A and B are shown apart, each in its own frame.
Chain A
Amino acid sequence: MGVAAEQAGEIGPPVKKGPLVKRQSAWTRATHWAWAISLFFLLVSGLQIFNAHPRLYIGQQSGFEFDNSVLSIGAVRKPDGSVGGVTTLMGQQFDTTGVLGYSGPPGREQVRAFPSWITMPSYQDLATGRVVHFFFGWILVTTMLIWFVASLLNGHLRRDIVPTGADMRKLPGDIADHARFQFRHGRHYNALQKLSYGMVLLILCPLMVLTGLTMSPGMDAAWPWLVDVFGGRQTARTIHFGVMVLLVLFFIVHVAMVVLSGPFNNLRSMITGKYRIDPEDRA
């Protein structure tokens, strides 16, 4: 396919365009979308599971007669007689009526930690939440392993994920460019991309899987070091929740960057593998 023909389909004044290059391997593309789907279902089923006991602790056990709680979400009767949602984070109380603790359409509000529009199923059903969570947990772990082996063999990991010394030297410039919403479109990831993808794929996702396994009494007997590494089953559960928050933040920034830096080009590279780079970046 000719560059000229491709240009005719673009909107706006004719500008000098760089070439289409192959950027993403089929392994990366397939696993990317498998993760997008499974992380979505893991999030919403995970919030369903959390709602069964919406309280997080530090240590081996949950303090019922002592206080080792770091987060709790609940409902209270307010002085004016109405019911409200209260979220307590590190001893600090926040009124979260309508979102956390007490939510729902007017007249049909419910006492529930996370609101029904973000849990799966929408109604309280721990058993089903677990079915969905573990099914997609297996898909996530399997596709992570496939991606890791493929990326090790095809050089994606070394070339695109693990930052080099040169990347780190370019980091301040990269941050300044991103802050001004000026994006370079090179064949390879920039330093911020490498750092954020590396953080998610090599640190946060493995941490998510391991803290998840630490909540399993079977796995704790098989691999007793799990409990020691994370400082207790309840601490592991708290870390599992914290990493979820970080992954949601990553998702928001990731989608914002995709939109700001050329959604068509970015989506194309994750579907067909082809990416149009800047003319001066012809490498």
Chain B
Amino acid sequence: MTRFSMRRRKFLTATAAGVAGTTLAGCDVFDPLLRPGHPVRDAMAGANALTEAAQRLLLDDNALAREFSASEIRQGMRPNGSTDPTDIDYLIAKQNDFAFYRLEVGGLVESPASYSLEELRNMPARTQITRHDCVEGWSCIAKWTGVPLAAILDEVKPRDSARYCVFHCFDTYGGAGLYYESIDMIDARHPQTILAYGMNDAALPVRNGAPLRVRIERQLGYKMAKYIRRIELVDDFSRLYRGKGSFWADLGYDWYAGI
């Protein structure tokens, strides 16, 4: 009994020393477990599926993100990521204020179509003043004007097999390849999901994504692809790029960015 008690005491002391030692050595002892592809990291990343399921459960498909009054626009929209692409196709499209730019919409649709900026501007528009939340932690309120993506989808008629809307962009960012992003059909048909060509009552500036950027107001900023060149409807994004459905998801960020 005595020996047991002493052994237990030693065990407790050793455990406490171990925990203290880990802390003193620094958190880098965990680094190897956290590299992309390690089973420990992959298991932890599984929690994001839970987050997505929980938010889809709590969030009505048409529930709106908050819209603000004009007085809450207190500053210019902070640009992030690519702010001045030099990719050749972008420079070509940018000539003459994007006069020859055409947005192509295709993939799993009945009638593929393409639109000039002028044609998009002449479609029924939606304007919203919303808060842009960056994954880094900051927020910025701005006014966005554009065509509801649902209106485009109604014209091209997605097939029943279409499950995701993929945005292919002009820009490469940080040498990691072409930017692209994807959303499910719930977010694609959400009333606030617009292809914005205007910002704060002016044409969308290059630094914020001209000629077109998508607004997905119930997710973080990195989902809202800028410099959109082509929209493709797909049933599965695993064959695109590195297979995770988004430029940032390919780099280890969560595909669903509702949190």
Contact = CB atoms under 8 A, between A and B. Distances in A.
B40 to A, nearest CB: 10
A216 B135 CA distance: 10
A50 B218 CA distance: 21
Contacts of B30: 120-121
A130 B258 contact: no
Given A6-B1, A138-B47, A50 B75 contact: no
Contact of B44 (A2, A135, A223, A227): A135
B74 interface: yes
B31 interface: yes
Interface stretch (A60-68, A77-85, A173-181): A60-68
B66 A224 contact: yes
B218 A221 contact: yes
A125 B251 CA distance: 10
Contacts of A49: 137
B27 interface: yes
Interface stretch (B2-10, B110-118, B159-167, B203-211): B2-10
Given A121-B27, A122-B26, A267-B12, A218 B136 contact: no
**Main SS of the interface on chain A?**
helix
Given A52-B135, A62-B140, A64-B140, A121 B66 contact: no
Contacts of A127: 248, 251-254
Contact of B47 (A55, A118, A134): A134
A220 interface: yes
A138 B50 contact: yes
Interface residues of A, number: 59
B258 A126 contact: no
B31 A218 contact: no
Contacts of A182: none
Nearest to A142: B50
A233 B141 CA distance: 11
B34 A264 contact: no
A217 B59 contact: no
A219 B259 contact: yes
Contacts of B2: 5, 8-9
A130 B51 CA distance: 12
Interface residues of B, number: 58
A218 B133 CA distance: 11
A126 B34 contact: no
Contact of B27 (A122, A218, A263, A268): A122
A123 interface: yes
A68 to B, nearest CB: 9
Contact of B74 (A5, A61, A217, A234): A61
A227 B65 CA distance: 11
A1 B1 contact: yes
Contact of A216 (B9, B138, B259): B259
Nearest to A129: B34
A209 to B, nearest CB: 12
Interface of A: 1-2, 5-6, 8-9, 44, 49-50, 52-53, 55, 57, 60-66, 116-123, 125-128, 130-132, 134-135, 137-138, 213, 215-224, 227, 233-234, 237, 263-264, 267-268, 271
Interface of B: 1-2, 5-6, 8-9, 12, 16, 26-28, 30-31, 34, 36, 41, 44-48, 50-51, 55, 58-60, 63-66, 68, 72, 74-76, 78, 131, 133-141, 217-220, 248, 251-254, 258-259
11 contacts: A50-B137, A53-B136, A122-B28, A123-B31, A127-B248, A131-B48, A217-B220, A217-B259, A221-B59, A222-B55, A233-B133
6 residue pairs, one from A and one from B, having the closest CB atoms: A218-B258, A117-B26, A122-B28, A65-B75, A127-B252, A9-B5
